[in-house]
Amino acid sequence: MDKVYRQDLVESKWYQFWEEKGYFKPEINPEGEPYTIILPPPNANAPLHFGHAMYVVEDILIRYHRMKGKACLWLPGSDHAGFETQVVFEKELAKEGKSRFDFDRQTLYQMIWDFVQENKGTMEGQLRRLGFSLDWSRMKFTLEQDIIKIVYKTFKKMFDQGLIYRGNRIVNYCTKHGTSFSDLEVLYEERKTPLYYIKYGPLTLATVRLETKFGDTACAVHPKDQRYQKYIGKEINIETVLGPAKIKVVADEAVDRQFGTGVIKVTPAHSAADFEIGQRHNLEIRQVIGYDGRLNEKCGKFAGLSVKEARVAIAQEMEQKNLIEKVDYDYQNRVAVCYKCGTEIEPLPLQQWFIKIEDLSKQAIKAVKDGQIKVYPKRWESTYFNWLSNIKDWNISRQIVWGMQIPAWHCMECSKVKSQKSKVNNETMKQSNNYGWIVTAGEVPTKCPNCKSTSLEQDPDVFDTWFSSGQWPYVTLQTNQPGDFEKFYPTSVMETMYDILLFWVARMVMLGLFVTGKAPFKDILLHGKVLDPLGQKMSKSKGNVVNPMEIADLYGADAIRMALVYGTAFGHDQALSHPKLQAMRNFTNKLWNIGRFIIEFNPEKLGTTQKTSRSDSLINRNSGTPSHSESFRKSTYPEDREILEKLDKVIVTVTKSLDQYRFHDGAEALYEFIWHQFADIYIESTKERRAQAQPVLEYVFRTSLELLHPFMPFITEELWQKLPHQGQSIMITNWPLISNS
C-alpha cells in the first residue's frame, strides 16, 4: 500500500467492477422491498456543472437502502430540454454563420438530435466518475418513441376529458426567439421607463406603452372613482396621432385609483391584464403589433416600425400635437424579458393549447396537505401551496422544432366555417376553441371526422418541455422492463434543487395524479444551490462555472461527495470550498493510513475477526440480527469497551441521519469518530498491545467502512477489498446494526 492515498488509481477501477457485477440493478436484492429514485434528468445539451454533483445525496440514499437489503432502483435519464437546447444549438449554428431558418424542420431536428447524443455521452461519463450507482440498463431519454407515445396518450386523455383547450390568449412572446413562454419562464427587470400622461379627449391617462395605443379598444376607470362617474359607459371623442376617434369608457375593479390619473387605456391584444378587462366587457381584440415585434398596417404611418422606434416616433408626434400633458422620466417599472436573451417580452394574442389547471392543482395541493407527499425542508410547502393556489392555465405550446410535435391536426375546411363564426361570436374566442381540431394519441388522421375533408394540417408547435418531463416518473418506469412500473411506482424520493420545485416537481405531482391516480413520489427532497468559492451564483456569462471533473481530479470524487454534505445544513445554498475539499481529501488519506496500519502493520495474520464478526456476505443477507461478538464486550481493556460503545452510537447517529435526510449529521459523526475517536485515541492506545487488539481494530474498521460507504464509495471499497471477507463487495454487505444486548 502506498504511504499516501492515491485516489486517481483507486477511483478509476471500482465503478466498472460494480457495474459489471450488476450491483446497480434492483435485482441484486430480489426479495427486498422496492426503493426508487428517479434521477432528475440533466439537460442533454451540455456537460454537467458542479451543481449536478449534489445528486450525491441520492446516491447516498440509494447505497444506504441497498445495504439495508432493499431492491433499489436509481434510474438515469436525460432531458431534451426543448427550448434550452434549441437556443444552445442555434448558438452553435451562429458560429458557422448559419441559422435555424437555413434548414427544414426534419433536418434541423436531426441535427439537434445528433448534437444531443454527443453530449449525453459526456454527461453519463461524468455521473460515473462521481460514483453514482445508477442502473444504466434502464437509462431513458425524453424523446424516445415509447416515451413520446405515452405523453401523447396523456394529452389525448386530457383533451377527451375537456382539460385541454385551444385558446386565443395573451402569451409571453419573445420576438427574437419566435416562441411563447409560460409565466414561469419570464424574467422581470427593474427599469426606468418614461411614463406619459396623455390626453384622451376630456380624460388624461398615464401609460408607458404609447405604441400600443392603436390597439386601444376602451378606457377604464375604477367603478367607484368619483372623478369619472359621468364618463362610465359613454363614448368619448378623442384626438389621436391618426386623427379623431371615439372610445368607450368602462368601469373595472382591476383599475388602481392611485395609479396615474386613475384612468387607463385598455389594449386587450397587448397586455394580459387588459385582455382580461376586455373579456369582462366584451371588447374587441385589436392586434397592432406582429410576432416580429413591429407595428402592423393598423398603425398608419407608423407601420413597420419596431416597438422601440414607434414609441419614440409617437411621443414626438404627440408632443407636436400637444397631446402629452407631462412625462415622468423617473418612473420605475418592471419589464418582462426573455430569460435567455433579455429581449423585452411582447404580450401577444396567440392561438395556443392550454391545460385547465384548477382541478389538477387542487389535487396536487391535497396530496401534500394529506401527507401523501412530504416535503423536506418543510418550508418549501408554502411556496408550493402558494403557487398552486394562484396558478393560471398552463400554455403548453412552444413555437420551436426541438420537442414533441403536438398530435393535433387542423381541419382546413372546418376552420373556414369557424373563422366566419368567431367574428360574430366573441364567446367562442374566449372559451374553448377546439372546433376544427382533431387530437389523437399520435396516429396521423386521414380525414376530418366532422366534414370528412382530407385537408388536414398538423399543429407545427411542440409541447413545453415540462409537459413531458412532468410525466417522467411513470414514463420511465412504463417504458423499461415489464413489471417495473408496478413494482417501483410510486417512487420513494424525488430529490432535486429547489429552483425547479414549481417548474417540474409540482407539475409531476399534478400529471402523476391525473394519469396514474397516485402521487408519483412519497418524499420531496430539495437541496440547495452550489455557489462559486466567493458565494456568487455560477453562470456561464460570469465565467465562474466550475467543472466537477477538474475538482474530482484534484481531490477525488469521494472528497467532493463528502465535502458537499459535510458542515452544511441540507437544503441551504453553499459555496464551493477548496479548504473543505482539501480537508475531505485529507480525510481519505487518514482513512487509508488507518487501513494501512491495520492491514500491513499487524503482527498477526489478518482475519482474526472472521469467525466472530457478523456475517457480511451477500449470501447471508437477512439471516438474523447481526451484532458484534459478546467476547469484545467482555474485554478487560476499558478502551475496547469504550470504542465499541462509541461505535454503536455512531451507527445510530448515521442511520438516523440518513432516515431523516440530515446528511451532514451522519457525515460529521463519521468524520469525528473515525479520525478522532478511532485513530487518535483508540488506535494510539493499542500500540502497546497490538496483537491482542487486532480483532477489535478490524471489527471497528470494517464497520466504519460500511457506514462510510454511501458517502465515500471508492475508498471504502478499496480498503474493504484488502480485508479478508466473504462478500464480494462492500456495496452489497449488510448495513450495520447495533447489538441488541
Binding residues vs RNA (CB under 7 A): 3-5, 183-184, 188, 206-209, 254-256, 258-260, 264-265, 271-273, 276, 333-334, 379, 382-383, 386-387, 390, 392, 499, 502, 535, 537, 567-569, 572, 574-575, 577, 579-580, 582-583, 585-586, 588-590, 593-594, 596-597, 601, 662, 664, 668, 671, 675-676, 679-681, 683-684, 687
Q: Is there a contact between 351 and 220 (Cβ–Cβ < 8 Å)?
A: no
Helix (H, G, I), strand (E, B) or coil at 16: helix
- Rounded to whole angstroms, how far apart are CA atoms 116 and 93? 14
> Toward RNA, which CB reaches closer, 630 or 680?
680
Q: To which residue does cell 406603452 refer?
A: 209
Considering the complex, what minimum distance in angstroms separates the CB of residue 424 from RNA? Answer: 28
> Toward RNA, which CB reaches closer, 437 or 503?
503
Considering the complex, what minimum distance in angstroms separates the CB of residue 91 from RNA? Answer: 23
Considering the complex, what minimum distance in angstroms separates the CB of residue 220 from RNA? Answer: 8
> Toward RNA, which CB reaches closer, 71 or 324?
324
> Toward RNA, which CB reaches closer, 522 or 590?
590
Closest by CA to 523, choosing from 143, 38, 156, is: 38
Cell triple for 147: 416515451
Residue 457, C-beta contacts closer than 8 angstroms, at least 6 positions apart:
409, 410, 412
Considering the complex, what minimum distance in angstroms separates the CB of residue 273 from RNA? Answer: 3
Q: Is there a contact between 165 and 153 (Cβ–Cβ < 8 Å)?
A: no
Angle (nearest 5°) at CA 670 between 669 and 675: 110
> Toward RNA, which CB reaches closer, 31 or 190?
190
153 membership: H or E segment, kind and range: helix 145-160
Helix runs in 479-577, H state only: 484-488, 507-516, 548-555, 557-565
Q: Phi-psi category of 173—alpha, beta or left, where left has phi over 0 and alpha has psi -120 to 50?
A: beta
**CA distances in angstroms from 408 to 156, 159, 393, 445, 509, listed in the order given:** 9, 10, 19, 9, 25
Considering the complex, what minimum distance in angstroms separates the CB of residue 621 from RNA? Answer: 31
**For the purposes of burial, counting CB atoms within 10 Å of the CB of 662, is it exposed (0-12), middle (13-18) or buried (19 or more)?**
middle
Listed as own residue / partner, the contacts of 412-420 with beta carbons closer than 8 Å and 24 or more positions apart are 412/453, 412/455, 412/456, 412/457, 413/448, 413/451, 413/453, 413/455, 414/448, 414/450, 414/451, 414/453
> Toward RNA, which CB reaches closer, 279 or 721?
279
Across the strands, what pairs with 494? 524
Considering the complex, what minimum distance in angstroms separates the CB of residue 308 from RNA? Answer: 15
Q: To which residue does cell 413494482 refer?
A: 487
Considering the complex, what minimum distance in angstroms separates the CB of residue 6 from RNA? Answer: 8
> Toward RNA, which CB reaches closer, 555 or 720?
555
Closest by CA to 290, choosing from 349, 243, 231, is: 349
> Toward RNA, which CB reaches closer, 480 or 496?
496
Cell triple for 448: 376530418
Considering the complex, what minimum distance in angstroms separates the CB of residue 541 from RNA? Answer: 14
> Toward RNA, which CB reaches closer, 234 or 379?
379
Considering the complex, what minimum distance in angstroms separates the CB of residue 671 from RNA? Answer: 7
> Toward RNA, which CB reaches closer, 649 or 664?
664
Considering the complex, what minimum distance in angstroms separates the CB of residue 389 from RNA? Answer: 10
- Rounded to whole angstroms, how far apart are CA atoms 246 and 234? 10
